[in-house]
């Protein structure tokens, strides 16, 4: 449904010297607004009179301050007496905040020339009429967003778990700053006993809930922050160091695009609050997981006697990545690098820490919050690409569209590999040349065989 016509600035190149993790947006032109009933000067005499009048109003101001309050006049505009200028020259200016030059930071740095945004919405995100759990409030002050409309039934992506059948809102967030910010610098406030708030910057916040009595308020805040139906979900638990160990979920993470709620179930006798269950089962909400069929589904069932089938809606971002041609078995950190163009801070020391400890440290809070916030932004970035797919300059496949499946089979053993890393290792061990690789530009799988070959093999 988006327009196919793009302005020249939308065809950015790799030589544009853009910040890492960003893609180009429209050039910002300085805007000058004329104050109502403001005095104007079009001649040298008028200019002298205006300076004199202003010096009488502000006797303690220097000449430099008086001049800085006025727009500078060019020699062509300061004409002789009696000559009228074609436009006002000297007008007090109003302070105008420039709009961000970049739509949002979700693109591989080597592919900035592929972004062709067609519109930019700021402030309140407009929504269609009808019942919805989403709030019509604006994003936090200073945060802009792009609305991506739902695809029609004729879109090929609709068959992939209906991932593009609903409208989403993509906020502009500088993820480089989010990654680099020290958690010790977060603004911290205690809302109540067992209920804390951390402001991460970039308009994002984290709510840490230890006391179950505050869960309804935390879920209400989460719902109010929603500008689309996506809620990312993740789980953390105390590491299982033995085959017989099966620890319950100690921390459940939920997030909209800008608000993360960390639920410390280990402090709630491992009981999931009804407010959380109602949110998960809401048919107007789509829960977004990553590699959910691995350990997360089993842990959720063991801990709370529920699974993804009990959700009102569910999408597995890892499965979606496979359908879009990114290969199987990619972790969130690797995949977010493909989309955001930045290395996600994944620390094994933090990921395998004690999530059931009496208190969580700031590194754990940042790690847990980013797990869900980044997953949601990666999904929204994919939707933005899908709304206006363009060919990759490397593999020529449409970025954002579905991709053909590549069968990775070793001709020496006949073994079929699911992930590219294992396939590459087998090729190296067998001293044969791989016939499938990941595109260095977009990161998706591409065949190195002639186009007429339907199956790739070694």
Only one residue has tokens 């300059």, namely: 393
Q: Is the pTM of this model over 0.75?
A: no
Can you state the percent helix, strand and coil of the chain, rounding each to 5? 30, 15, 55
When pLDDT is averaged across residues 108-116 and rounded to a whole number, the result is 38
Contact 148, 164 (CB under 8 A): no
**pLDDT for residue 440:** 80
Only one residue has tokens 């999530």, namely: 355
Say if residue 346's pLDDT is above 60. Answer: yes
Secondary element (H or E) of residue 252: strand 249-255
Say if residue 76's pLDDT is above 70. Answer: no
Say if residue 137's pLDDT is above 90. Answer: no
**pLDDT for residue 190:** 96
**pLDDT for residue 44:** 52
In angstroms, the Cα distances linking 71 to 41, 83, 253, 301, 322 are: 10, 19, 52, 67, 57
The tens digit of pLDDT for each residue in 204-241 reads 999 999 999 999 999 999 999 999 999 999 999 998 88
When pLDDT is averaged across residues 16-25 and rounded to a whole number, the result is 42
The tens digit of pLDDT for each residue in 416-439 reads 887 777 877 888 887 777 878 888
Output b/e per residue, 50-81; b: 16+ Cβ within 10 A. bbeebeeeeeeeeeeebeeebbebeeebbeee
Provide CB contacts within 8 A for 387, sequence distance 6+: 2, 148, 149, 151, 400
d(CA 100, CA 96): 13
DSSP β-ladder status, 398-399 and 195-201: unpaired
DSSP state of 28: P
d(CA 165, CA 290): 19
When pLDDT is averaged across residues 295-299 and rounded to a whole number, the result is 93
Query: Backbone phi, then psi, for 188, in 5-degree steps?
Result: -115, 140
When pLDDT is averaged across residues 290-319 and rounded to a whole number, the result is 93
Would you say the C-alpha torsion 149, 154, 158, 160 has a positive or negative sign? negative
The tens digit of pLDDT for each residue in 244-266 reads 888 999 999 999 999 999 999 99
d(CA 204, CA 197): 11
As given in the structure block, the two tokens for residue 324 are 């879009």
**pLDDT for residue 84:** 44
**pLDDT for residue 317:** 93
Only one residue has tokens 């300061």, namely: 78
């Amino acid at each position: 449904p988006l327009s196919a016509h793009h302005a020249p600035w939308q065809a950015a190149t790799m030589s544009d010297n853009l910040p890492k993790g960003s893609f180009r947006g429209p050039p910002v032109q300085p805007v000058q607004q004329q104050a109502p009933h403001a005095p104007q000067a079009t001649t040298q005499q008028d200019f002298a009179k205006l300076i004199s009048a202003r010096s009488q109003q502000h006797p303690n101001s220097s000449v430099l301050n008086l001049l800085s309050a006025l727009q500078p006049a060019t020699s062509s505009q300061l004409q002789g007496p009696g000559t009228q200028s074609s436009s006002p020259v000297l007008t007090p200016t109003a302070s105008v905040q420039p709009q961000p030059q970049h739509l949002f930071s979700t693109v591989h740095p080597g592919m900035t020339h592929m972004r062709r945004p067609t519109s930019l919405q700021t402030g309140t995100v407009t929504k269609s009429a009808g019942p919805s759990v989403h709030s019509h409030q604006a994003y936090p002050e200073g945060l802009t967003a792009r609305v991506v409309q739902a695809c029609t039934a004729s879109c090929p992506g609709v068959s992939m778990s209906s991932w593009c059948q609903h409208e989403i809102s993509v906020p502009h967030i500088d993820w480089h700053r989010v990654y680099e910010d020290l958690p010790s610098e977060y603004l911290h406030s205690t809302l109540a006993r067992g209920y804390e708030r951390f402001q991460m910057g970039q308009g994002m916040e984290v709510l840490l809930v230890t006391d179950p009595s505050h869960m309804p308020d935390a879920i209400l805040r989460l719902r109010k922050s929603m500008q689309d139906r996506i809620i990312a979900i993740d789980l953390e638990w105390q590491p299982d160091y033995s085959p017989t160990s099966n620890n319950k979920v100690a921390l459940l993470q939920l997030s909209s695009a800008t608000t993360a709620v960390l639920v410390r179930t280990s402090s709630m006798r491992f009981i999931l609050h009804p407010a959380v269950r109602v949110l998960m089962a809401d048919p107007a909400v789509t829960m977004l997981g990553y590699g959910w069929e691995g350990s997360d589904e089993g842990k959720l069932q063991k801990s709370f006697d529920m699974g993804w089938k009990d959700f009102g809606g569910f999408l597995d971002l890892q499965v979606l990545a496979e359908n879009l041609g990114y290969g199987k078995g990619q972790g969130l950190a690797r995949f977010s690098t493909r989309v955001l163009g930045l290395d996600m801070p994944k620390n094994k020391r933090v990921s395998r820490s004690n999530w059931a400890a009496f208190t969580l440290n700031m590194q754990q809070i940042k790690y847990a919050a980013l797990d869900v916030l980044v997953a949601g932004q990666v999904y929204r970035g994919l939707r933005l690409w899908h709304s206006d797919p363009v060919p990759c300059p490397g593999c020529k496949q449409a970025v954002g569209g579905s991709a053909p499946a590549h069968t990775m089979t070793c001709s020496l053993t006949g073994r079929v590999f699911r992930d590219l890393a294992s396939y590459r290792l087998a090729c190296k061990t067998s001293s044969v040349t791989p016939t499938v690789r990941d595109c260095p530009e977009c990161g998706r799988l591409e065949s190195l065989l002639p186009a007429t070959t339907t199956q790739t093999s070694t």
